[in-house]
């Protein structure tokens, strides 16, 4: 396509898609009264409402509005505000829903609603005494205020009877104190969204800047964090085009939310911790499934229009020859015949199965891309099937809608239809039959090469399933934000049907609230500059705070070519991102790690070596996200609530926690060889590289030569690792090394399963837990106790696939001679070998034997054999 026309589309798209939020809103007419019981059910839920196990919501009606409050749990309530004639609430995001009874009490000015145990108390199915939400409704205006455990969360003005323009709904919330706002899904810009205007409209922003909004995904979840560390959330479950004007930094911030279609539905998530909010949100919208273990390895990709099996194989061999850890190679659209998805360009890929076999032989996995656009080609069986099966989105006049994308004029599956999802899912057989391991879906905003870059409003989608009648038709504006989510749903379900029992690896660009239950996400077409590298931190943190655990950017940048220094720094950071992939645009200079000179190559090798050594830890973090929705990447204030300095932007968006134990402080400026690092209060920190100890609660000037990124371990943590290696399979099977960072209390875990199948969902998983503590004697004298237990499926080998166990205890203050001396003392079982240099044993062990004691770096290292669980180790460190 003509470059000028192409550029024009992308310049015009934000203007053409933008909708003005109505200025005038007419308020609902009170008074509001509790509705008669027969009217209490929400139309979409009439089937179960009021039956045993389906308690009625608390409903209030006036002449022109209806407000229904439903307790999904004592701490999560749904509010639906509707007007006569409005379509019922139907959710595409919410999958987990139960209901608790609500009680209503009349007050002078209105009503108090609370879960059955009374105001603020728990209801059915929750432990007695669990505080719950309570709401007050103003009889005259219908305004609600939500309280939790005696604290006012917010007041809303959610009941306008009509806007100046048909169809729009809005909600204005006012907080009683200063709040910091996070969440909102994938967004550019700073971590805190206070004072910003955020649009929910999935967009392929071709000229992505660090201020571009909106981007590819939307998640209308607003999380408020307070100075005391408490947090609560409001999730607006509405896929329509919508706009937030997020409250500022003042004492009583007001946030305005407006959506182009009703009804207004939002969930209040009471927290009270940030982790609780995430757990509540992902209970509603689904938790991320575990990816296959290999997906945690390093992915390498580049968009190469002249792609070939020979080039892919050459790249694979180069990674092995140069000893750069790597697990996955991606095949972009260049592998297809004329950009027809599910086909191979035969001249260049004569035998795709053989290529995949070669890659597997070299220890690689292969991921291929598919786009939704299917070429309009009546000679192509997939297009013909799509037309015959009525699978494509339609124009208003009933014809198939076509528009240009990579393959030229194309048709687009209507993923909101169940039959179409099944058909689409089945197409992946063409890839699974040749052994392709993972899948990458793109352009699913949907992104088209026409002005506005997406489907016209008149395009029709035909959703089915619960709540949809035979006449159900959705105009594209209403379906737009759901397109990527439902493409991901169709693809994942298809893969599970084609390969029952095998975990899919699926990567998507677009999505909406809940996408985490289907796919991992990357952050789209970023740029090779320091600004985009820096932005990846707040961006990924907010995606994590929107339920997504497996996320990462194009490392090195998609547009352009990174300077060698940027490449080195970006890889250091990507080494601790859950999804770690190098990807670049067609036509850019080579972006393989060896393209930047020997020094950078070595830095990338070492960074990836560190990543591979951390794979047991990262996998354990992902297992936590799967279990309770807490993300892998966490802002400091999630782990250290109440430490006000963690809310300072300079710390909050330049440092990040990787799981519970590690704090990464990447160097974010070109030329910098040191940076200030705030280490949160509450205990000392250990430098991950040399084991030295630094106090918490203050800023340190940390030196950071180009060779490494500052990384710190929290006192009291246990980080499961392995020795650096080339593939994730090596990591999964090598000796497990528990790095223990003593603190008054010690805790940590290692998650184990087969890494490949879905059997973990049926309970075939286990966890090694380490609990213990160090006595508080300062200096070289210390006693550290570790209890190692295992929970879960007993049929799994004790250490999973790991070949053995070693323990490293950070003990930087213990003189080397002390360890050497006791090291000769054969401390197994607590016995000193005759001639040993110390009076006390180094280790007392129960449930295992200890051998090979020594010192490496700032650690005391010892091997464990004859392990049984529970095991107990007491490490006595003393001067000789």
Residue 350: CB atoms within 10 Å: 13
**Cβ 488 to ligand GLC, closest distance in Å?**
15
Q: Which residue of this chain has its Cβ atom nearest to ligand GLC in the complex?
A: 303
655 flagged as catalytic = no
**Cβ 370 to ligand GLC, closest distance in Å?**
10
**Cβ 519 to ligand GLC, closest distance in Å?**
14
Q: Which is nearer to ligand GLC, 62 or 591 (CB)?
A: 591
Phi, psi of 649, rounded to the nearest 5 degrees: -55, -40
Q: Which is nearer to ligand GLC, 32 or 577 (CB)?
A: 577
**Cβ 330 to ligand GLC, closest distance in Å?**
9
Check: CB of residue 467 under 8 Å from CB of residue 226. Answer: no
Cα distances from 580 to residues 21, 275, 420, 518, 788, in angstroms, run 39, 24, 32, 18, 31
**Cβ 560 to ligand GLC, closest distance in Å?**
14
Check: CB of residue 306 under 8 Å from CB of residue 334. Answer: yes
Residue 285: CB atoms within 10 Å: 27
**Cβ 204 to ligand GLC, closest distance in Å?**
7
442 flagged as catalytic = yes
**Cβ 337 to ligand GLC, closest distance in Å?**
15
Q: Which is nearer to ligand GLC, 585 or 790 (CB)?
A: 585
Q: For residue 94, give the nearest of 288, 283, 290 by alpha carbon.
A: 283
Using CB atoms within 10 Å of the CB of residue 2, give its burial: 0 to 12 exposed, 13 to 18 middle, 19+ buried. Answer: exposed
Cα distances from 856 to residues 74, 239, 434, 813, in angstroms, run 51, 55, 46, 13
| Binding positions for ligand GLC, rule: CB under 6 A | 303, 332-333, 369, 442, 509, 524-525, 583
d(CA 566, CA 574): 12
Tokens of 878: 């003393």
d(CA 401, CA 412): 7
Q: Which of 237, 525, 639, 643 is catalytic?
A: 525
Q: Which is nearer to ligand GLC, 75 or 509 (CB)?
A: 509
Task: Specify the pairing of strand 328-331 against strand 298-300.
Answer: parallel
Check: CB of residue 263 under 8 Å from CB of residue 78. Answer: no
**Cβ 670 to ligand GLC, closest distance in Å?**
25
Strands of 554-555's sheet in order across: 551-552, 520-522, 505-508, 438-441, 365-370, 328-331, 298-300, 580-582, 554-555
Using CB atoms within 10 Å of the CB of residue 47, give its burial: 0 to 12 exposed, 13 to 18 middle, 19+ buried. Answer: exposed
Buried b (16+ CB within 10 A) or exposed e, 578-595: bbbbbbbbeebeebbbbe
Region for 626 from its dihedrals, namely left if φ exceeds 0, alpha if ψ lies in -120 to 50, beta otherwise: alpha
Phi, psi of 723, rounded to the nearest 5 degrees: -70, 150
Scanning the structure block, which residue is given the tokens 């910098």? 672
d(CA 362, CA 364): 6
Q: Which of 156, 414, 445, 643 is catalytic?
A: 445
3-state secondary structure of 390: coil
**Cβ 314 to ligand GLC, closest distance in Å?**
20
CA 470, 475, 476, 480 torsion-angle sign: negative
Q: Which is nearer to ligand GLC, 376 or 509 (CB)?
A: 509
Give the ranges where 458-523 is alpha helix by DSSP (H): 476-479, 483-498
3-state secondary structure of 79: strand
The angle at the Cα of 868, spanning 862 to 870, to the nearest 5 degrees, equals 95
Q: Which is nearer to ligand GLC, 69 or 455 (CB)?
A: 455
Q: Which is nearer to ligand GLC, 334 or 827 (CB)?
A: 334
Q: For residue 653, give the nearest of 174, 194, 178 by alpha carbon.
A: 194
Q: Which of 442, 655, 687, 753 is catalytic?
A: 442
Q: Which is nearer to ligand GLC, 84 or 590 (CB)?
A: 590
**Cβ 523 to ligand GLC, closest distance in Å?**
10
**Cβ 373 to ligand GLC, closest distance in Å?**
11
H/E element, 27: strand 25-27
d(CA 420, CA 487): 10
Q: Which is nearer to ligand GLC, 583 or 634 (CB)?
A: 583
**Cβ 347 to ligand GLC, closest distance in Å?**
20
Q: Which is nearer to ligand GLC, 90 or 299 (CB)?
A: 299
Q: Which is nearer to ligand GLC, 3 or 47 (CB)?
A: 3
Q: Which is nearer to ligand GLC, 509 or 626 (CB)?
A: 509
Check: CB of residue 533 under 8 Å from CB of residue 570. Answer: yes
State the catalytic residues: 442, 445, 525
């Amino acid at each position: 396509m003509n470059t000028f026309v192409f550029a024009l589309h992308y310049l015009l798209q934000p203007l053409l898609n933008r909708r003005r939020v109505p200025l005038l809103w007419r308020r609902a007419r009170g008074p509001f009264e509790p509705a008669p019981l027969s009217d209490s059910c929400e139309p979409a839920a009439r089937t179960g409402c009021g039956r045993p196990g389906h308690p009625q919501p608390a409903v209030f009606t006036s002449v022109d509005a209806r407000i229904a409050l439903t307790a999904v749990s004592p701490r999560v309530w749904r509010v639906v505000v509707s007007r006569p004639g409005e379509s019922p609430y139907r959710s595409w995001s919410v999958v987990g829903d139960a209901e608790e009874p609500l009680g209503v009490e009349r007050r002078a000015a209105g009503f108090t609603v609370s879960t059955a145990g009374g105001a603020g108390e728990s209801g059915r199915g929750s432990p007695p005494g669990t505080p719950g939400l309570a709401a007050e409704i103003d009889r005259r205006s219908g305004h609600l205020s939500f309280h939790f455990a005696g604290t006012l969360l917010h007041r809303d003005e959610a009941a306008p009877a009509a806007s100046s323009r048909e169809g729009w709904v809005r909600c204005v919330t006012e907080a009683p104190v200063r709040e910091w706002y996070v969440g909102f899904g994938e967004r550019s810009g700073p971590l805190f969204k206070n004072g910003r205007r955020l649009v929910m409209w999935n967009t392929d922003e071709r000229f992505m800047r660090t201020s571009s909004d909106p981007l590819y995904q939307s998640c209308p979840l607003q999380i408020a964090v307070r100075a005391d560390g408490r947090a609560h959330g409001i999730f607006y479950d509405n896929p329509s085009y919508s706009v937030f004007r997020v409250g500022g930094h003042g004492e009583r911030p007001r946030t305005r939310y407006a959506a182009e279609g009703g009804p207004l539905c939002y969930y209040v998530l009471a927290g009270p911790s940030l982790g609780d909010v995430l757990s509540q949100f992902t209970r509603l919208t689904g938790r991320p499934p575990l990816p296959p273990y290999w997906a945690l390895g390093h992915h390498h990709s580049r968009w190469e229009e002249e792609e070939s099996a020979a080039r892919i194989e050459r790249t694979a061999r180069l990674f092995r020859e140069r000893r750069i850890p790597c697990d996955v190679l991606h095949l972009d659209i260049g592998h297809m015949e004329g950009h027809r998805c599910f086909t191979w360009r035969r001249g260049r890929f004569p035998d795709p199965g053989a290529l995949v076999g070669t890659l597997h032989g070299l220890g690689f996995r292969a991921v291929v891309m598919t786009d939704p656009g299917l070429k309009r080609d009546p000679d192509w069986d997939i297009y013909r099937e799509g037309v015959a099966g009525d699978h494509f989105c339609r124009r208003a006049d009933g014809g198939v809608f076509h528009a240009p994308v990579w393959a030229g004029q194309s048709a687009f599956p209507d993923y909101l239809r169940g039959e179409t999802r099944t058909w689409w899912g089945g197409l992946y057989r063409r890839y699974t039959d040749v052994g392709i391991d993972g899948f990458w879906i793109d352009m699913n905003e949907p992104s088209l090469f026409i002005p506005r870059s997406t489907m016209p409003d008149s395009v029709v989608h035909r959703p089915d399933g619960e709540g949809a009648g035979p006449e159900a038709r959705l105009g594209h504006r209403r379906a737009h934000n759901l397109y990527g989510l439902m493409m991901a749903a169709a693809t994942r379900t298809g893969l599970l049907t084609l390969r029952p029992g095998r975990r899919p690896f699926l990567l998507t660009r677009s999505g909406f609230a809940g996408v985490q239950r289907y796919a991992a996400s990357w952050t789209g077409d970023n740029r090779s500059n320091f600004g985009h590298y820096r932005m990846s931190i707040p961006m990924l943190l907010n995606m994590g705070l929107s339920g997504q655990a497996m996320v990462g950017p194009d490392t090195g940048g998609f547009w352009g070519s990174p300077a060698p220094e940027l490449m080195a720094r970006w890889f250091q950071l990507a080494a601790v991102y859950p999804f770690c992939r190098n990807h670049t645009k067609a036509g850019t200079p080579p972006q393989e790690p060896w393209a930047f000179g020997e020094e950078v190559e070595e830095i990338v090798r070492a960074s990836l070596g560190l990543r591979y050594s951390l794979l047991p830890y990262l996998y354990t973090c992902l297992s936590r996200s799967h279990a309770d929705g807490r993300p892998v990447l966490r802002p400091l204030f999630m782990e250290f609530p109440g430490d006000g300095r963690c809310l300072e932007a300079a710390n909050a968006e330049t440092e990040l926690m990787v799981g519970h134990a590690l704090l990464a402080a990447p160097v974010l400026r070109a030329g910098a060889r040191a940076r200030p690092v705030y280490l949160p209060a509450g205990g000392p920190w250990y430098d991950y590289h040399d084991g030295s100890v630094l106090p918490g609660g203050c800023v340190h000037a940390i030196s950071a030569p180009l060779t490494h990124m500052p990384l710190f371990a929290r006192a009291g943590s246990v980080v499961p690792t392995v020795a650096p290696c080339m593939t994730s399979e090596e990591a999964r099977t090598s000796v497990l090394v528990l790095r223990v960072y003593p603190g008054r209390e010690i805790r940590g875990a290692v998650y184990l399963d087969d890494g490949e199948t879905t059997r973990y969902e049926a309970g075939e998983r286990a966890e090694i837990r380490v609990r213990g503590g160090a006595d508080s004697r300062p200096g070289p004298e210390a006693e550290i106790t570790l209890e190692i237990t295992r929970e879960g499926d007993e049929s799994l080998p004790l250490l999973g696939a790991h070949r053995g166990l070693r323990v490293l205890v950070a003990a930087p203050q213990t003189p080397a001679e002390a360890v050497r001396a006791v090291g000769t003392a054969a401390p197994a079982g607590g016995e000193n070998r005759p001639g040993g240099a110390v009076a006390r044993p180094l280790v007392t062990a129960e449930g295992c034997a200890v051998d090979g004691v020594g010192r490496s770096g700032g650690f005391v290292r010892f091997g464990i054999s004859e392990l049984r669980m529970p095991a107990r180790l007491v490490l006595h460190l003393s001067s000789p």
